[in-house]
Structure 1
Amino acid sequence: MFGVKKRKGRFEAPHVFVILFTLIIAASIMTYLIPAGHFERVELGGRMVIDPESFVYVEQTPVGIFAALNCITAGIGEVSEIIAFLLIMGGSFHVIQSTDAIKIGIGRIAVAGAKSGRDKFLIPVLMAAFAAGGVVFGMAEETLPFIAIMVILAMSMGFDSITGAAIALVGACAGVSCSAMSPFTVGVAQTIAELPLLSGWQFRMCSLVFMFTIAVTYIYRYAMKVRKNPEASLMYELDRERSDILNLEDLEELTGRHKAVLAIFFGMMVILVLGVMKWGWGITQMSSLFLAASIASAAVFRMRFNQYAVTFAQGLESLAVGATVVGLSRAVLVILTQGNIIDTILFSSSSLLSQIPAAVSSLGIYLFQCLLNFLIPSGSGQAAVSIPILAPLGDLIGVTRQTTVVAFQLGDAISNILTPTSGYFMAALSLANIPWEKWVKWILPLIGLQYLGGAVVVMIAQFIHLGPF
C-alpha cells in the first residue's frame, strides 16, 4: 500500500508531501539534539524584537512525534487565513474562468501580439511590472491572483506554464530582494537597525537592475527555447493535459457577456491594487473581492445556483493539495518554536559570525540570512529576530548596518520561490498546476546565479562601506 514503485534506471522525485513530512520529522528530532534557549522580546516601533543581550539556555522542551503531528493542525490554524484565501480564490476564479471570457480575451491579446511582433517584449515588460510591486509593497501573496492569468497568457504565446508562473513569482522576488521602500522588509529592518528610512535607496536601485537582469535573461532564454522546441519544456507532458490551453486558430468571438465578465475581472484587479496600496487591504478583503467578482460573473452568464455551487466546488477541489501544503509548511516552524531551538540557532550562529575575519564577515551574515530564510520565510518576522542581533554584531566586526540590511533583504527574498516552507509560493505552484519537484529542477540554476549575484552585491556594499553607518 505504501510501497514506492521505482522506474528502472530513473530517479523519481519525492512528492512535496513526502518532503514536508520529512522536514516535520527532522524538526522534531532537532528539538532533542539542539539545546533549548530563549531571548527576551522587547517592543520597538510597534513590533516585538529580541534583546540581543538576553539569551539564556532553558529547560529542554522536545517535541515528540505525536506532538509534531499535533503541530500540523496548529500550523494549519496559524495560516488559516491564507488557506481560506487560497480556497475562496480558487473557487471564485474557476467560476470566472468557466465563462471562457478570460481565455478568449487573452487569446485575442496573443494573436494581436504575434501579428505585431511585439510578443517578445511580453516577458520583460510583465516581469518589470511585478518587480515594481515587489519594490513598492513587498509583493508576495499579492501575486496569487495573477498566477493563473500569466500561465494562460504564456501558454497562448507558445511558452509553457513554468514561464507564466515565473513571470509573476521571479519578477516580484527580484523586486523584493532589492526594494528601497517596502514597509514589510527594508522598512522594518532599517527601523530596527536605527537607520534612516529609505537610506541607501540609490544603491538598492542599482542592485535591482543587476538582479532583475539576471532573472529576466534566464527566463527569456528558457521561454524562447520552449517556443522553438515545446518538448524542451519540463512541463511538456503535463501542459498537454491542461484544460485551459488556447487554440488560437479556432478562437471564439468575444460576446457582450464575455466583455462584461472581462470588465468585472479587470475592475476587480484595479480595486485589488488600490486596496493593497492605498487602503491597507489584507487577504481577507482580497478573498471577499474575488468572491464578489465570481458572483457578478455568474449573474452575467445567468448561471443557476446549483451550477455556480458545483463550479465553485470544482475550483476548491483543484487547490485542496496546495492549501494542505501551506499548513504542512507552517508546521515546521511551529515545531521549532515549541522546541525553543530557534533562538539557540540564532545565538550560536551569531557567535560563529563574530569569529569570522572582517574581510568575509559580510558574506557570513549574508549566508546566515539565506539559511535562516528556510526556517522563517516571513520577511518582517525574519527581520524581527535577526536584525537586533546582526546589526550590533556588524558594528563589532566592521560591517555597516546598511550592509547588514542589504544582506538580510537578499537572503530573505531569493529562496522564497524555492523552499517548500514558503506558504504563498507553494500556493502559487498549486494555482499554476506545477509540481514542486518540476519547478525546483527548473529554477535551481537561477537560484544559484541569484545567490552569486547577491554575494557580489553584499561584497560591493561592504567594500564601499555603504552607509550612513
Structure 2
Amino acid sequence: MKNTKAKQKFKFAMPDAFIIIFGIIVLAAIATYIIPSGAYDRETIDGVTRVVPDSYSTTEANPANLLDLFTSIQIGMIQSANIIFLIFIVGGIVKVMESTGAIDSGINALIRKTKGRYMLLITSVAGIFGVLASMGLAANAVIAFIPIGIALARSLKLDAIVGIATIYLGYYSGMIAGIFDPTILGLAQTIAELPLFSGMPLRIVIFIALITITITYTNLYAKKIKNNPQKSIMGTKPFGDDEENHEVATQDNNLNTSFSMVQKLVLLTFISFIGIFIFGAFTRGWGLNELVGIFLIMGVVIAIIARINPNNFVKIFIEGAKSITYGALVVGLARAVIVILEDGYIIDTVVNAALVPLQSMPVLLGGQLLFIFNLLFNLLVTSGTGQAAIVMPIMVPLVDMLGITRQTGALSFMLGDGITNIITPTSGVLMAVLAVGGVKWTQWVRFAFPLMLMWVLVGIISITYAIYTGYGPF
C-alpha cells in the first residue's frame, strides 16, 4: 500500500499554462545575457515604420535583472489591456446572451434542419470563416464567434476543442493564404514593391489545401469523441472549468426546445452588430476598442429585447466575466515574454543573425530556410504587420541576391507568419480564444500540434513549387 501511495504522490502532472509561460519568460531573461544587444534603424514611409536594411549595429547591453523579470508581467498586462478587457467584456455579454437561451435554441434549430449531421455543420462553418479570413475580414471579431462554436459543439455532444477548432482554425486557414488580405499581405507586398494581391492563383490553391486538411482533421477528431467521449483531450470536463454551468444548460436544453421570437431577435441582434463591426473594420479601420464598444451596445439592446432588468444584467455580466479570468490573465503573462526581449534589445539581433547568413545558401535551401525562420520568429512576434515591418525590408534584398522572386519571399513570410500562431502562447488572439472557450493551452497544443505539422508540410511544398516555377511577378 505504501508503494502505491508513493507512486501516486510522484506521478508527473502537466504544468499549468501559467508555469510554462513563466518558464519562457525566465528563458527570455537569460537570453538577454547571452545574445548580444543590437538594433536596426527604422524609417517611416507612408505612415508605415520599417526596418532599414544593412543598418544593424550593436547597442549597449540591457540584460534583465530579477526585478525586470517580475515587472515585465505587470507591463505585459498593461500592454495587453485591450485584449484582456475584450475577453472580460465578451465573456460578460455572451453570458447575458446565454441567459436568454437564444444561442442554444438557435443552434438546436440549425441542428434540426441539418438532421444532426455534425460533419456537415463543422465543414460549413469552418469554410465560411476561412473564406472571410482570406479576404481580410473577421480579424479580431473571430474571438466573438467562439461562444457560437462552443454552443454548437455542446449541442452536438462534442467537446470545446471542436467548437474552437471549427471557428478559429477555419479562420486561420484563410488568414494564412490571405488571398485578398489588404492588411498583412498588402503590407508585405507593398514593402516588396509587388502589385497588390498579385500571385493570387497559388494562394487560392494553398487555401484549398489548408482548409481541406483542417476540416478533415477536425471532423476525424469529432468522430472519435462522438463514438467515445472518453477520448476527448479535455477529459472529464469537455467544456472547461465552467462545466457545471454547461451541464445545467444542457439539462434544460434539447433539440425539441422551441425557438421563440425573443430568442430569434436576440440572435439577429448579435449577427447585425457583428456585421456592423466587420463593415467598420473593412471601411474605417476599426479594431479591438470598437469591437468592445459594439459588444457593450449589443448587450444593452439584448437586455431590452429580453427584458432583463439592470441589476440582473450586471449580475449576469459579472458572472460571465469571472468565469474567464484565468484566460484573460494568461494573455498578459504571455506578453511579458515580448517585453523582456524588446527591453533587452535582442529581437533585431536574432533577425540579423538568422537572415544575413542565408545570402550564401543554395537557392532551394535558402528559400526553405526563409520560411522556417519566419515560422520560428513568429513565436516571438505574432503581429503580422509588426513582423512584416521587421522582416520584409531585410528579406527583399536577400531574395534578390538568392535569385528567388520577391513574390516567393512574400509567400514565405505569409506562410511563416500564420502557421505557428495556432500554438504560440505569445499570441494574444489565441490566448483570448482559448480563454473564451474555456480550453487550457496545454490541451489545445495536444490537439493542434499535429495539424500545424501538416500545415508546415503544405508550406514546404508551396515554397518548393514557387522557387522552381519562378513564382512571380518579379
- The more displaced of 230-239 and 326-335 is 230-239
For 1:114, the equivalent position in structure 2 comes to: 115
| Per-residue CA distance 1:329-357 (angstroms, 9 max, x = gap) | 11111111111101111110012322322
- Contact residue 108 and residue 255 of structure 2 kept, 8 A: no
Distance 1:175 1:65 in 2: 42
- Contact residue 356 and residue 364 of structure 1 kept, 8 A: no
- The question of 1:46 aligning with 2:47 is answered yes
For 1:29, the equivalent position in structure 2 comes to: 30
CA spacing shift, 1:206–1:421, aligned 2, 3 Å:
same
Superposition pairs of residues 16-415 of structure 1, within 5 angstroms? 16-114=17-115, 118-137=117-136, 139-239=138-238, 241-244=243-246, 246=250, 249=254, 251-415=256-420
Distance 2:290 2:17 in 1: 30
Distance 2:138 2:7 in 1: 40
> What secondary structure does 2:304 align onto?
helix
Shift of 1:249: 4.2
| Structure 1 residue identity aligned to 2:174 | G
Seq. identity, %: 35
| Per-residue CA distance 1:278-329 (angstroms, 9 max, x = gap) | 3332121111111112122222333232221111111111121222111111
Distance 2:96 2:8 in 1: 39
- The more displaced of 453-462 and 239-248 is 239-248
State the number of aligned residues: 463
Distance 1:94 1:7 in 2: 39
CA spacing shift, 1:37–1:409, aligned 2, 3 Å:
same
Distance 2:7 2:50 in 1: 48
| Structure 2 residue identity aligned to 1:359 | L
Distance 2:324 2:128 in 1: 26
Shift of 1:130: 0.8
> What secondary structure does 1:337 align onto?
helix
> What secondary structure does 1:235 align onto?
coil
| Structure 1 residue identity aligned to 2:12 | F
> What secondary structure does 1:237 align onto?
coil
Mark the runs of 5 or more structure 1 residues left unpaired by the alignment. none
| Per-residue CA distance 1:436-456 (angstroms, 9 max, x = gap) | 111111111111111111111
What TM-score comes out, normalization by structure 2 length?
Answer: 0.93
- Contact residue 50 and residue 389 of structure 2 kept, 8 A: yes
| Structure 2 residue identity aligned to 1:162 | I
| Structure 1 residue identity aligned to 2:315 | V
| Per-residue CA distance 1:129-155 (angstroms, 9 max, x = gap) | 111122111644221010011111122
Runs of 4+ in 1 over 6 A off after TM superposition: none
What TM-score comes out, normalization by structure 1 length?
Answer: 0.94
Distance 1:461 1:6 in 2: 54
Distance 1:136 1:14 in 2: 38
Q: Over the residues paired in the alignment, what is the CA RMSD in angstroms?
A: 1.9
> What secondary structure does 1:182 align onto?
coil
CA spacing shift, 1:464–1:11, aligned 2, 3 Å:
farther
Mark the runs of 5 or more structure 2 residues left unpaired by the alignment. 1-5
> What secondary structure does 1:49 align onto?
strand
- Contact residue 177 and residue 414 of structure 1 kept, 8 A: yes
- The more displaced of 329-338 and 132-141 is 132-141
For 2:459, the equivalent position in structure 1 comes to: 454
Distance 2:8 2:381 in 1: 36
